[in-house]
Amino acid sequence: MRIRARSGLLVSGIASALVASVMMAPVQAADSSTATSLADFGGLAGLEAKCKEEGQLNVIALPRDWANYGEVIDTFIRKYPSVNLDSQNPEASSAQELAAVRQLKGSNRAPDVLDVGLPFAVAGAAEGLFAPYKVATWDDIPAAAKEKTGLYFSDYGGVIAIGYDAKKVKVAPKSIKDLANPIYKNQVALNGNPSSASAARNGLFAISYAYAGGKKGLDDVTFGVDAIKAWKKAGTFLPVQASSATVANGQTPITLDWDYLQDKYAKSSAKVQWKKVIPSDVAIGGYYQQAVNKTAPNPACARLWMEYLYSDQAQNLWLAGGARPIRLDAMVKSGTANKKYLANLPKLPAGTVVVYPTLKQQTDATAKLGKLWGKLN
């Protein structure tokens, strides 16, 4: 927590009383858009009051079946019934989120908050699109998982897995390279365009790593692009964005996606017998990032949403969705992580070492794929 009482400080009784009276006095931010922590609102109650005055929160790119976001949203609405939550364009990519911030600037329809992949968080911060804000549980977020001033910070993560419908896929794929097998003709898909969608880009990282035989595939994603070309030639790759709908209707029987998203495909239809496996040749991991729109039309509610997302309550809801909330280690240590949800977290094969692409690798890949992917499709 950013603001807390310090222990071991000896002061006189009078001085203590004065300090206490100052700390108890509510300090309201003159402008919620400049608030950088709960201290600027005099605490959570002050922030809740400011948000109630606004009565509106605009979120974007939050599919209800993505990491249990449906329950995350519904719980917020029950917690703050006076706030109207408008969930815009649930299937938007990270690039489209940034575009919405630019295009809707000054409009009451602009997104207040964003959930984006790391390269897009860095780009948005560099462009001046975000406002710095540190949630009350800031200290629980590892230093490497947050921009030091609070312009963006990690929220939840997972590992790229292969998902498949056992009713249609008779020979279970076990590795990335297995997906080149012609027996999987017209069956393999990514979750979007890797030049603009983080889930798809990390799926491509997994392909590139496997075909390069190591981390050089992360430095140069042309290994992955060339592999996709070979898959297309073999007829296995589908230039279709995988979704619950495409899985349910049988269009994409095999997907390369985050492990926690494979669970949503399993629930897409009673006709689907969905299974998932971490590829034997690589385990690519990654986290998404939260950010507050600098020109958010509802700046207090934007910050209240952040406080909620990083509370034990919402972090456990992400955990319930099979994702790994960024505060998980701290919550396990403090005993606040839901034990049932923790036990159900997707297990990694023994000896698996998760590889996390660096910021530079992600940024370079995004730039390179912007030129290569269009030609491929």
What would the pLDDT profile of 353-376 be if each residue is shown by its tens digit? 999 999 999 999 999 998 888 766
What is the predicted pLDDT for the residue at 373? 87
Question: How much is the average pLDDT of 76-91?
Answer: 97
Cβ atoms < 10 Å from Cβ of 106: 8
Beta pairing, strands 56-60 & 84-88:
parallel
Question: Is pLDDT above 80 for 22?
Answer: no
Question: Is pLDDT above 70 for 41?
Answer: yes
Position 346 confidence tier, pLDDT thresholds 50, 70, 90: confident
Question: How much is the average pLDDT of 279-307?
Answer: 97
Cβ atoms < 10 Å from Cβ of 293: 26
What is the predicted pLDDT for the residue at 376? 67
Question: Is pLDDT above 90 for 200?
Answer: yes
Question: Is pLDDT above 60 for 6?
Answer: no
358 residue type, one letter: T
Question: How much is the average pLDDT of 95-101?
Answer: 97
What is the predicted pLDDT for the residue at 128? 98
CATH (residue range 157-286+349-376): 3.40.190.10
Question: Is pLDDT above 90 for 34?
Answer: yes
What is the predicted pLDDT for the residue at 178? 97
Q: How high does pLDDT run on average in the chain?
A: 91
Question: Is pLDDT above 60 for 8?
Answer: no
Position 377 confidence tier, pLDDT thresholds 50, 70, 90: low
Same fold, 31-156+287-343 and 157-286+349-376: yes
Domain regions of the chain by residue span: 31-156+287-343, 157-286+349-376
What is the predicted pLDDT for the residue at 64? 95
Question: Is pLDDT above 70 for 110?
Answer: yes
Which residues make Cβ contacts (< 8 Å) with residue 307, sequence separation at least 6? 38, 44, 47, 135, 136
Output the 3-class SS for 170-225. Answer: CCCCCCCHHHHCHHHCCCEEECCCCCCCHHHHHHHHHHHHHHHCCCHHHHCCHHHH
CB contact at 8 A, 254 and 247: no
DSSP E strand stretches across the chain: 56-60, 84-88, 113-117, 130-131, 153-165, 188-190, 254-258, 274-277, 285-293, 324-325
What is the predicted pLDDT for the residue at 70? 97
CATH (residue range 31-156+287-343): 3.40.190.10
Question: How much is the average pLDDT of 250-255?
Answer: 97
Position 30 confidence tier, pLDDT thresholds 50, 70, 90: low
